[in-house]
């Protein structure tokens, strides 16, 4: 008994912590396991303690000490903030918290922010501003880099051979402009009209109107550059509308000099009704060929909230013929809505007008929206697909099953 006691004492002593032994474990020896577990626990506790004395609350002291000067500064400021200033403060705090918030925000943007009806609308708007800011910063950095590089290059390739002979004056862009304008002017007399219906302002948010104007500007640009431009009509255009303001913002002085027709009249007042075709993705009729004596109407609407049937309703009201692009017929559609942007429409229509080649024209549909071109009519494709499916699922499966059973039963029987 005694020898065992000594042995145990030795074990206890030799363990890392003499503490357990000190607590008088001599007397009762049988709860050995308890002792050991206790010591283990103590050991962990010991380890957890900041052994080499890290002052854990030191950061608080640092934070508080840094304060003194700032506090004295702040006292002099007026306590009540205007709502705008308060919003600005909140934004700053959000930025510090690492949310997607722009660094600089103008008074107008702040007001728009405060007028947002819901929290999520506010968040969205801020994110939009944030991304815009990032984008701007990046492009600025890039142009700066470019400029520097150019300056370096100029320094390197400084003086030699200044006099290069050329029979043309280097006035490319302005000459081109003149040529383009000449063509556009001709189109205003002889060209095929293309109407943008500007009556959807009420259906859109401010952002959507801005996007629409941008898209129209892009379409106008590519129209001007084409060999045989359309004569663009902006119909139902109100002078004091948001559209107008956005156009002026976009084009500045050039707005008055554009070679397009802008009118507050409806297209039905200008053109004979039977010549008009309203292009809309909701139309039950599918366009087969591009007709050179018809006047196509495109609704100037960006609709992010998918309001189906708005432009179809308009065409129905006016009793106009409608048509949709034959997207399904020529493309294996994969994802995305069938409504295209205005500049894509313009590209497609211009190509059709010049070449009458659907495949070429539909190249302008964004690649992400379709898997590829269909070389056979879809109906035939569907038939073969159905055939394959029935073969695979119907008879095919049975047969495969039978064969499978045959093979395996044979094997099993043999064994």
Partner 1 sequence: VQPPEKPLQAEEWDKLREDFQAPEVFEEVMLNSMIRCNSPIDVAKSLLTHVAKRKGDVAYNVLVKYLTLCVQQGRVSEVRDVYDIMKARFKILESGAYSLLIKGLSNSDHWRMALTLLEEVKKIMIPSRTCYECCIKAASRHQDFKLAFELYDEMLAQDVVPTLNVLQSFFDFSRGMKGAELQKELFGILLYLRDNQIYPHKTFMRSIRLWFESIPGGNWRGRLTKIKESGQCPVCDHQLEDSNLTEEEYSNLSQRIIKDVIHGTDTFRKTSPQEFEAFQTFVENRLPFDIVIDGLNVSHIKTRKLQCENLLDAVNCLAKENTRLLVLGRKHMLMNTSNWKREIMKEMQNKADFFFAENISEDDAFLLYATLRSGKHCKFVTRDFLRDHKACLSDSLTRHLFRKWQRGHQVAFSAEGRSIQFLVSFPAAPAFRYDCVVQTTGDTWHIPYKDVFEEKYSYQVPRKWLCIQQK
Residue ranges binding partner 1 (CB under 8 A): 47-48, 50, 52, 54-60, 62-64, 66-67, 70-71, 74, 86-87, 89-90, 93-94, 96-99, 119, 284, 309-310, 312-314, 316-317
Provide the minimum distance between the beta carbon of 236 and partner 1 in the complex, in angstroms, as a whole number: 15
**200 touches 307 (CB < 8 A):** no
| Cβ nearer to partner 1, comparing 180 with 326 | 326
Provide the minimum distance between the beta carbon of 373 and partner 1 in the complex, in angstroms, as a whole number: 28
**Ranges assigned E (strand) in 331-401:** 331-333, 370-373
Provide the minimum distance between the beta carbon of 64 and partner 1 in the complex, in angstroms, as a whole number: 7
| Cβ nearer to partner 1, comparing 52 with 162 | 52
Distance CA 247, CA 146 (A): 31
Provide the minimum distance between the beta carbon of 234 and partner 1 in the complex, in angstroms, as a whole number: 22
Of 317, 123, 216, residue with least CA distance to 208: 216
**177 touches 224 (CB < 8 A):** no
Provide the minimum distance between the beta carbon of 58 and partner 1 in the complex, in angstroms, as a whole number: 5
Strand order in the sheet with 321-323: 261-262, 231-235, 193-197, 295-299, 276-279, 321-323
Distance CA 65, CA 68 (A): 6
| Cβ nearer to partner 1, comparing 89 with 269 | 89
| Cβ nearer to partner 1, comparing 220 with 303 | 303
**352 touches 296 (CB < 8 A):** no
Of 358, 324, 366, residue with least CA distance to 341: 366
Classify residue 109 as exposed, middle or buried by CB count within 10 Å of its CB (0-12, 13-18, 19+): middle
Q: What are phi and psi of 138, to 5 degrees?
A: -60, -45
Provide the minimum distance between the beta carbon of 305 and partner 1 in the complex, in angstroms, as a whole number: 12
Query: Which secondary-structure segment (H or E) carries 277?
Result: strand 276-279
Provide the minimum distance between the beta carbon of 228 and partner 1 in the complex, in angstroms, as a whole number: 34
| Cβ nearer to partner 1, comparing 80 with 107 | 80
| Cβ nearer to partner 1, comparing 47 with 227 | 47
Distance CA 82, CA 125 (A): 21
Provide the minimum distance between the beta carbon of 81 and partner 1 in the complex, in angstroms, as a whole number: 8
Of 183, 180, 199, residue with least CA distance to 191: 183
| Cβ nearer to partner 1, comparing 77 with 155 | 77
Distance CA 78, CA 75 (A): 8
Provide the minimum distance between the beta carbon of 233 and partner 1 in the complex, in angstroms, as a whole number: 23
Distance CA 218, CA 302 (A): 14
Between the alpha carbon of residue 218 and those of residues 169, 233, 234, the distances in Å are 29, 15, 14
| Cβ nearer to partner 1, comparing 187 with 339 | 339
| Cβ nearer to partner 1, comparing 62 with 391 | 62
Provide the minimum distance between the beta carbon of 313 and partner 1 in the complex, in angstroms, as a whole number: 4
Of 236, 313, 223, 312, residue with least CA distance to 270: 236
| Cβ nearer to partner 1, comparing 58 with 161 | 58
């Amino acid at each position: 008994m005694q020898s065992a006691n000594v042995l145990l004492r030795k074990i206890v002593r030799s363990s890392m912590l003499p503490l357990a032994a000190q607590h008088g474990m001599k007397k009762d020896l049988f709860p050995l396991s308890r002792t050991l577990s206790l010591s283990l626990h103590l050991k962990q506790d010991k380890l957890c303690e900041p052994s080499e004395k890290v002052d854990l609350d030191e950061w608080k002291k640092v934070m508080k000490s840094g304060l003194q000067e700032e506090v004295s500064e702040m006292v002099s400021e007026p306590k009540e903030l205007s709502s705008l200033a308060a919003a600005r403060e909140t934004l700053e705090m959000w930025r510090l918290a690492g949310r997607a918030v722009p660094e600089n925000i103008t008074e107008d943007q702040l007001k728009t922010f405060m007028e947002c009806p819901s929290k999520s609308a506010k968040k969205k708007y801020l994110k939009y501003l944030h991304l815009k800011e990032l984008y701007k910063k990046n492009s600025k950095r890039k142009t700066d880099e470019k400029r520097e590089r150019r300056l370096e290059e100029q320094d390197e390739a400084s003086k030699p051979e200044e006099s290069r002979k050329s029979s043309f004056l280097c006035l490319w862009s302005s000459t081109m402009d003149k040529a383009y304008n000449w063509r556009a002017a001709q189109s205003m007399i002889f060209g095929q009209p293309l109407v943008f219906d500007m009556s959807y302002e009420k259906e859109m948010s401010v952002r959507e109107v801005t996007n629409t104007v941008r898209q129209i500007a892009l379409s106008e640009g590519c129209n001007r550059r084409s060999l045989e431009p359309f004569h663009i009509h902006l119909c139902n255009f109100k002078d004091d509308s948001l559209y107008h303001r956005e156009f002026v913002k976009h084009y500045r002085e050039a707005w008055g000099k554009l070679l397009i027709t802008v009118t507050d009249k409806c297209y039905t007042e200008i053109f004979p009704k039977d010549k008009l075709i309203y292009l809309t993705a909701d139309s039950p009729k599918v366009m087969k060929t591009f007709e050179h004596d018809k006047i196509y109407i495109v609704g100037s609407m960006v609709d992010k909230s998918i309001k189906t049937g708005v432009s179809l309703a308009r065409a129905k009201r006016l009793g106009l013929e409608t048509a949709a692009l034959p997207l399904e017929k020529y493309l294996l559609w994969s994802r995305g809505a069938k409504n295209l942007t205005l500049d894509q429409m313009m590209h497609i229509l211009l190509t059709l007008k010049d070449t009458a080649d659907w495949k070429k024209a539909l190249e302008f549909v964004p690649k992400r929206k379709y898997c590829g071109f269909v070389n056979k009519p879809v109906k035939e494709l569907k038939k073969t697909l159905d055939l394959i499916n029935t073969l695979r699922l119907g008879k095919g499966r049975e047969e495969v099953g039978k064969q499978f059973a045959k093979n395996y039963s044979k094997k099993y029987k043999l064994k």
